[in-house]
C-alpha cells in the first residue's frame, strides 16, 4: 500500500475550522474510494470518485463534507466547520480496476483530531 | 444496520496453533468477500478473498471458508506466527453496483509466543 499516498498523516483542527485531506492513488489508477474509521469501529464507505466525477457519494454526510478528484492532482476530502465527532482515521483506497473486488491498495490514512 | 459482523472483538492464540476468525453477513446480495489485515497507524492490507461460487480459497498459511447458506465466512491461519498479530477486517461487496466494500468491526488477533 506504499503506492497510495495520503497527506497529512496527522491533522489537528479546532472546532469550526476546515480540514483538507489529500490522496494520490497508485500511478495509473483513476479510481479512488474514501473510507472513515471511527475509534473501535470498522471502515465505513464515504465516497467513490473517478477523475472529475463523483460516482457514488451515498456514504457522505449531507452537510459539511465534500470530495473531488480533479483531472490533475490528488483527490481531496474536505470537511468544513469540523466538530469533535469528525475525529477519525480517513483512508483512501485505490483499486486495480474500477471496483473494490480486485485487490485494493489503501493509503496509510490521515488521523484527524478535532480539539 | 450492521450488514457485516465480526462478533469477537479480540482473539488470543498460541504461536504455532491455528487462528480462526469469524464473520457473519446479512445481505444476500453480497457475492464477494475479502479479508484485510491492519497494523496500528497503517492502512488495511489485502489478505485473501473468495467469490460466492466457491466455498474455500487457500493461499499459503491463510484459508478462507464460505458457508453461503449460513451467511458465514471464516479465516484460518495455520500455523500462527507473532507477525500475524494485527486487526483483521472482513469485508463484503456485491458485484452489481459500485462494488463498495462493507466492512465488519474487526477482530484484534494476538499471537502469544
Q: Which residue of A has its CA nearest to B37?
A: A106
Burial B40-79 (b: 16+ CB within 10 A, else e): eebbbbbbbbbebeeeeeeeeebbbbbeeeebebbbbbee
User: Which position has the higher pLDDT, B79 or A102?
Assistant: B79
Q: Choosing among A43, A99, A103, which should be mutated to test the B contact, i.e. which has the most B CBs within 10 A?
A: A43
> Cβ separation of B89 and A91 shorter than 8 Å?
no
Residue A12 pLDDT class (50, 70, 90 cuts): very high
Taking the Cβ of residue A39 and every Cβ of chain B, the question of whether any pair is shorter than 8 Å is answered with no
How many CA atoms are closer than 13 Å to the CA of B49, on its beta-carbon side? Answer: 18
C-alpha grid cell, residue A21: 485531506
For B51-66, what is the mean pLDDT?
Answer: 96
**Is pLDDT of A62 > 70?**
yes
Amino acid at each position: 500500500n506504499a503506492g497510495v499516498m495520503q497527506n497529512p498523516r496527522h491533522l489537528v483542527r479546532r472546532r469550526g475550522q476546515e480540514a483538507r485531506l489529500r490522496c494520490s492513488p497508485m500511478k495509473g489508477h483513476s479510481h479512488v474510494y474514501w473510507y472513515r474509521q471511527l475509534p473501535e469501529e470498522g471502515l465505513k464507505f464515504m465516497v467513490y470518485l473517478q477523475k472529475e466525477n463523483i460516482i457514488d457519494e451515498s456514504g457522505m454526510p449531507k452537510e459539511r463534507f465534500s470530495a473531488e478528484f480533479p483531472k490533475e492532482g490528488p483527490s481531496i476530502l474536505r470537511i468544513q466547520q469540523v466538530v469533535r465527532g469528525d475525529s477519525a482515521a480517513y483512508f483512501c483506497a485505490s483499486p486495480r480496476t474500477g471496483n473494490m473486488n480486485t485487490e485494493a491498495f489503501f493509503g496509510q490514512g490521515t488521523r484527524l483530531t478535532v480539539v | 444496520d450492521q450488514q457485516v459482523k465480526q462478533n469477537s472483538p479480540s482473539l488470543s492464540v498460541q504461536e504455532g496453533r491455528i487462528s480462526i476468525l469469524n464473520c457473519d453477513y446479512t445481505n444476500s446480495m453480497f457475492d464477494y468477500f475479502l479479508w484485510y489485515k491492519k497494523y496500528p497507524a497503517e492502512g488495511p492490507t489485502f489478505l485473501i478473498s473468495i467469490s460466492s461460487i466457491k466455498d474455500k480459497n487457500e493461499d499459503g498459511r491463510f484459508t478462507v471458508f464460505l458457508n453461503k447458506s449460513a451467511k458465514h465466512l471464516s479465516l484460518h491461519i495455520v500455523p500462527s506466527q507473532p507477525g500475524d498479530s494485527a486487526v483483521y477486517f472482513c469485508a463484503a461487496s456485491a458485484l452489481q453496483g459500485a462494488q463498495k466494500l462493507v466492512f465488519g468491526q474487526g477482530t484484534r488477533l494476538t499471537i502469544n509466543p
